[in-house]
Structure 1
Amino acid sequence: MLVLVSFISFWFDAEATTARVLIGVTTLLTMTTTISGITSELPSATYTKAIDVWTGVCLFLIVASLLEFASVHYLLLLQKYKSVNEQRLVSEPESQRKSFAFRIPSSLAHKLDFLSRIIFPLAFLAFNILYWSICFASVRQWSDMCAKDCLFLGSIRDAHVKS
């Protein structure tokens, strides 16, 4: 749920800095607190548990959405700087103009936001499908193994009782 909430920021205007940072940081802190609570309640283990994979990927996606916002914001700042420089260059004589200029498409930040609206949810959906299919297959395999062990132990018990 927190991951999906962090994706809401992609639908805000790219210049709505306060709202996007608020959503990103809030979801990040909430996820960190949730992970801390989960790991404190579970017994420690030397191997990676399924919950570790789940929380790790969720945390990664939340941080990635924050990094996407930082990239979009940076691109917007470059665009503003470029437009200010172009206005200044137009007003300067030809001999004083610098050859250095930013070559950024005017809508690159908006394209990145638009693509993020699609890519991030699809990545989370793909992860969910993969994660839950592996978990259910593992649980099924484990329950089949336990059932065979129970049958085996039951047959040993019955053989012991008969003798």
Structure 2
Amino acid sequence: MLVVVSWVSFWLDKVKQFLKGDAVPARVSLGVTTLLTMTTQASGINSKLPPVSYIKAVDVWIGVCLAFIFGALLEYAVVNYYGRKEFLRKEKKKKTRIDDCVCPSDRPPLRLDLSAYRGVRRLPIFKRISELLSANIDISRRVDLMSRLTFPLTFFSFLIFYYQAYVKQSRD
């Protein structure tokens, strides 16, 4: 449950963290709280078990869970680093932009491509994948979008592998 809770930070809005500062404390406290809670759980479980010289199944479970929670915290560090760089770059562009425009601003800009007029409708999942792979999306947003998909898929594949190995071992 703690691993899944640590993924909530992937859905907290990155834009708010730079404009209002709302998401920074939320993401940091969520990551640190889940990491400390998992560490406390691990030490409590290990203190109740007898010491042995081999790796137990619970050690593998706790180690992987800690790795996923720590990975979510590292993901936020990457998003924060690139997000700050992108935000500063956009702010710098705003300051250096020419404010006196020759064209009237009350008309919508003329589109030179026909992408908006194509009759082909995409499924939402394909639209999200193409959005993720597009070159004009910010790196920090791309990392958040990829994490929303890769963290759960990787963890659930670990669950399948872990329980298959656990059931096989218990049968033997």
* Contact kept in structure 2, 1:79 and 1:106, CA below 8 Å: no
Distance in 1 between the 2:34 and 2:94 partners? 40
Change (3 A) 1:8 1:64: same
Residue 146 of structure 2 aligns with an amino acid whose one-letter code is L
1:72 to 79, 91, 95: 79
Task: Pick the structure with greater CA Rg.
Answer: 1
2:159 to 121, 124, 128: 128
1:87 CA displacement? 4.5
Percent identity of paired positions between Structure 1 and Structure 2:
44
Determine the structure 2 residue equivalent to 1:40: 47
Cα deviation, 1:91-115, whole Å, max 9, x if unaligned, reads: 8xxxxxxxxxxxx955211111011
Q: Unaligned stretches of 5+ in structure 2?
A: 18-22, 99-134
What is the RMSD of the two structures over their aligned residues, measured on CA atoms? 1.7
Distance in 2 between the 1:81 and 1:13 partners? 17
1:46 CA displacement? 1.1
Q: Larger helix proportion, structure 1 or 2?
A: 1
Distance in 2 between the 1:62 and 1:8 partners? 11
- TM-score, normalised on structure 2? 0.70
Q: Structure 1: which 4+ aligned runs deviate by more than 2 Å?
A: 83-91
- TM-score, normalised on structure 1? 0.74
2:169 to 120, 138, 143: 138
